[in-house]
C-alpha cells in the first residue's frame, strides 16, 4: 500500500494529563478534519493513539506494565482495558462526526505479547479495512503476556509490529512539542543512528504518569522501526493547525525526522 500513512496521536495531545479521564475534544476534532482533508487527496490512513489520562491513570495504580504481580493484577487488566477503550470510543466517534470512516480495532482482543513484545496478532481485518479505505484506529492497550502475565502495549509497539506487515510510506507521530528538542529547547531537525548518541543526553525517560515511557523510549522505538522499514518517520507538533495534515501529505511540517 504505497499511499499508506500511520498516524499516532499522543496521549498528551488528545487528553489533559493533569485531569484524569479528560479528553481534549476540540483538538481531536481539528485533527480529524485534517486527516479527512489528507484522505481526500489520496492518503490511506491507519491511526493509533495513546492513552493519556485514561488508561495511564489505572495502569499506574495497578502497575499493569509490570505484569501479574499481586492479587489486584487481574482486576487491573479489566479496569485498564476498559479505560483504554473509553478513550478510543471518544476518538472514533469524533472521527465519524468529522466525516472519517473510522473503525475501532481493539488490540487486547487478539494480540498476545511475550515479555512486553507482541508475538502474535491477526491483522487480516486491518488489511481488509485498508483495502476498502476504512480507517482502522488502534490504541495503546493492555495485553496478555506469555512471559509476565500481562503488559501494556504502547502505540509505538503496535506500529512496530504492524509496519513490517503493512509497509506504510510514512509514520507521523503527533505530540505537543515541536518535535524532539535539544538542551536549549530547539527542534532537532533529524535523528539518525549516527547522531543518536549525542541526541540521547537531551531526552527524558519515562515519568510517573506515562507507563509506556517518555521521549527517549519513543525515539529509540522509532529508530529500530526505521531499520525495519523504509518509511519516513516524523515527530510533529499536533497543536499547530495543519501540521499533522502537512506531515501526512509529505509536505513541510514542524518536527523531527527519524531515519
Q: CA nearest 191: which of 222, 168, 212? A: 222
Q: Using CA atoms, how far apart are residues 66 and 83, in angstroms rounded to an integer?
A: 18
Q: Using CA atoms, how far apart are residues 149 and 144, in angstroms rounded to an integer?
A: 6
Q: What is the CATH number of the domain that holds 230?
A: 3.40.1160.10
Q: How many CA atoms lie within 13 A of 70 on its CB side?
A: 6
Would you write out the chain's pLDDT as a tens digit for each of its 259 residues? Answer: 569 999 999 999 999 999 999 999 999 999 999 999 999 888 899 999 999 999 999 999 999 999 999 999 999 999 999 999 999 999 999 999 999 999 999 999 999 999 999 999 999 999 999 999 999 999 999 999 999 999 999 999 999 999 999 999 999 999 999 999 988 889 999 999 899 988 888 887 545 455 556 788 888 888 988 888 889 999 999 999 999 999 999 999 999 999 8
Structural domain for 48, as ranges: 4-258
Cell numbers that stand for 16 in this block: 489533559
Q: Degrees (nearest 5) of the Cα angle 250, 168, 52?
A: 85
Its pTM stands at 0.93
Domain count, the chain: 1
Q: Which residues contact 169 (CB under 8 A, 6 or more apart)?
A: 1, 2, 3, 4, 5, 231, 232
Amino acid at each position: 500500500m504505497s499511499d499508506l500513512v500511520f498516524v499516532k496521536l499522543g496521549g498528551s495531545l488528545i487528553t489533559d494529563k493533569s485531569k484524569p479521564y479528560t479528553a481534549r475534544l476540540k483538538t481531536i476534532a481539528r485533527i480529524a478534519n485534517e486527516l479527512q482533508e489528507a484522505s481526500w487527496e489520496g492518503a490511506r490512513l491507519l491511526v493509533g493513539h495513546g492513552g493519556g489520562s485514561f488508561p495511564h491513570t489505572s495502569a499506574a495504580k495497578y502497575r499493569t506494565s509490570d505484569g501479574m504481580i499481586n492479587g489486584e493484577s487481574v482486576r487491573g487488566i479489566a479496569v485498564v482495558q476498559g479505560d483504554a477503550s473509553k478513550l478510543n470510543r471518544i476518538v472514533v466517534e469524533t472521527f465519524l462526526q468529522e466525516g472519517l470512516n473510522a473503525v475501532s480495532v481493539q488490540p487486547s482482543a487478539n494480540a498476545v505479547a511475550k515479555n512486553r513484545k507482541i508475538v502474535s496478532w491477526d491483522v487480516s481485518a486491518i488489511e481488509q479495512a485498508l483495502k476498502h479505505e476504512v480507517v482502522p484506529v488502534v490504541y495503546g492497550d493492555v495485553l496478555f503476556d506469555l512471559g509476565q502475565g500481562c503488559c501494556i502495549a504502547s502505540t509505538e509497539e503496535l506500529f512496530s509490529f504492524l509496519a513490517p506487515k503493512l509497509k506504510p510510506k510514512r509514520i507521523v507521530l503527533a505530540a505537543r512539542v515541536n518535535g524532539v528538542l535539544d538542551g536549549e529547547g530547539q527542534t532537532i531537525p533529524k535523528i539518525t543512528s549516527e547522531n543518536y548518541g549525542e541526541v540521547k543526553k537531551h531526552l527524558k525517560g519515562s515519568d510517573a504518569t506515562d507507563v509506556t515511557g517518555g521521549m527517549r523510549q519513543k525515539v529509540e522505538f522509532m529508530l529500530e522501526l526505521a531499520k525495519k522499514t523504509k518509511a519516513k518517520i516524523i515527530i510533529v507538533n499536533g497543536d499547530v493547525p495543519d501540521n499533522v495534515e502537512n506531515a501526512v501529505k509529505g509536505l513541510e511540517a514542524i518536527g523531527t525526522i527519524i531515519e
